[in-house]
Amino acid sequence: MPGLLSDLLGWGVILLFTTGALLVDRDRDQARLVTTAAWGGFAVFWAQLVPWFAFSHKSYVEGFLSLAAVPACLYAGYLVYSGRDTLFVLSRAVAAMGLVYLPFETIPAITVLGLSLPAPQQVLIETVAAQTGFITNLLGYSPALIPGPKGYMNTYRFVEPSGHRLEYTVVLACTGLGSMAIFAGLIAAVRAPLDRKLRAFAISIPIIYALNIARVTFIGIVFGNQYMQWFVDEVLFLFGATDPYRVSFFLSDRVISQIGAVFALVGVIYLVVRELPELLTVIEDVLFMMTGDEYDLARQLDLPRVPDGGEEVE
């Protein structure tokens, strides 16, 4: 479950990945042991999130992915220990992803020399909430912006003609931070010229951010206006819920948006590897873990074969 222990576990795992990444060029045997331990810890991290995603958060897509991540991490650790050194690139990427994501998840608001600094997640959440509200208003809807459960200005209140109130809160998961951290980590992990890395960053992050604003706006409008009250009893049964007003939310967010996000990320990956073919090593390793077969994506996509940190190979 998300909380202090989960945060501490997350930081511990990312520090192990970071240590392993720093050791690779100095002592590869030590790096192998540390990185193997990091993958084992990562499996534990995902395992403790499965019940929250599946039952509390009621996201079957994220619950399934968290569950699948457990054996995947254990297998990655086994492959690293067995000598598949290309997985050091993916391991570096995980370290970078965590260093991008965890500060927003775990750092609280602080006061320094009398100056109050908001929590990083508050800044990001309120920014996304404000931009979502701006687009929602442009589309002709006018929900009221009110303080959310944490006191952030991140909740929109829709009022039906009957007077029933529907409140939609923008949380950290609504900011696109997770997806942006994945791409930032992948781009940072490969050894490639800085100009190509910057181009890959400029392609991926703005696209993900813009698509996420569209996604959050779509969910808010659909839920706030109850536009998808379809198969009410069946949807409530599927998600283990009883409130019929949440059906539009479940369908727009947990089904349509999450499935659409998978296709969107695949498209962004394709655009990014055109700039950074070094990332094909990571994708090929993931495919190997899923299928047991080796792949040559560079040839299939008509891209140059560029080893991590090396020159193009014909």
- Cα(220)–Cα(158) distance, rounded to whole angstroms? 9
Of 3, 79, 67, 96, which Cα lies nearest the Cα of 39? Answer: 79
Task: Note whether 105 and 172 are within 8 A (CB).
Answer: yes
Q: What is the DSSP string of 118-153?
A: --HHHHHHHHHHHHHHHHHHHTT--PEEEE-TTS-E
Active-site residue set: 174, 215
Strands 165-169 and 115-117: unpaired
What does the chain come to in residues? 314
Location of structure tokens 């014909």: 314
CB atoms closer than 10 angstroms to residue 57: 15
Q: How deeply is 126 buried, as exposed, middle or buried, from its count of CB atoms within 10 A (0-12, 13-18, 19+)?
A: middle
Strands, DSSP E only, in the chain? 110-112, 115-117, 144-147, 153-159, 165-169
- Cα(27)–Cα(218) distance, rounded to whole angstroms? 50
Tokens of 35: 């990185």
Task: Note whether 256 and 73 are within 8 A (CB).
Answer: no
